[in-house]
Structure 1
C-alpha cells in the first residue's frame, strides 16, 4: 500500500509530461501534413539533371574566351 503513494504521483506526473509534449507537437506543426513525406519519395524529380545532353566546349570557344579576358 505504501508503494501506491509513490507510484500514483509518478504516473500522474508522467501523464502530464506526455500530454504537454503532445500539445507542443501539435502546436509546432508536427502533424500538419502526414502524407507529404510518404508521397515525396515516390514522386519524380522536378528538375532532372541534363549534364549528359550538353555538348562539351571546343578549343576555339575556349581560346576566344581567354582572348576576351586578356583585353
Structure 2
C-alpha cells in the first residue's frame, strides 16, 4: 500500500506535464495546418524553390 503513496503523485505529475505540453504546442500553432505536410510530399521538387529562383534558372 505504501507504493501508492509514490505512484499516485508521480502519475498525476506526468499527466499534468503531458497536458501542459499539449497546451503549449496548441498555442504555438502546431495543429494549424494538418493537411499541408501530407500534400507537400506530392509536389515536385522544382515547386519547392522560391519564385525568384524559378525565374532565374
Aligned partner of 2:38 in structure 1 is 38
- Provide the aligned length of Structure 1 versus Structure 2: 51
Unpaired runs of at least 5, structure 1: 52-71
Unpaired runs of at least 5, structure 2: none
Larger helix percent? 2
Give the TM-score taking structure 1 as reference length: 0.62
Higher radius of gyration, 1 or 2: 1
Give the TM-score taking structure 2 as reference length: 0.76
Q: Which has the higher contact order (CA 8 A, sep 6+)?
A: 2
Q: CA RMSD in A?
A: 1.9
Aligned partner of 1:64 in structure 2 is none
Aligned pairs for 1:1-71 (under 5 A) are 1-44=1-44, 45-46=46-47
Work out the CA distance in 2 between the residues paired with 1:37 and 1:20: 25
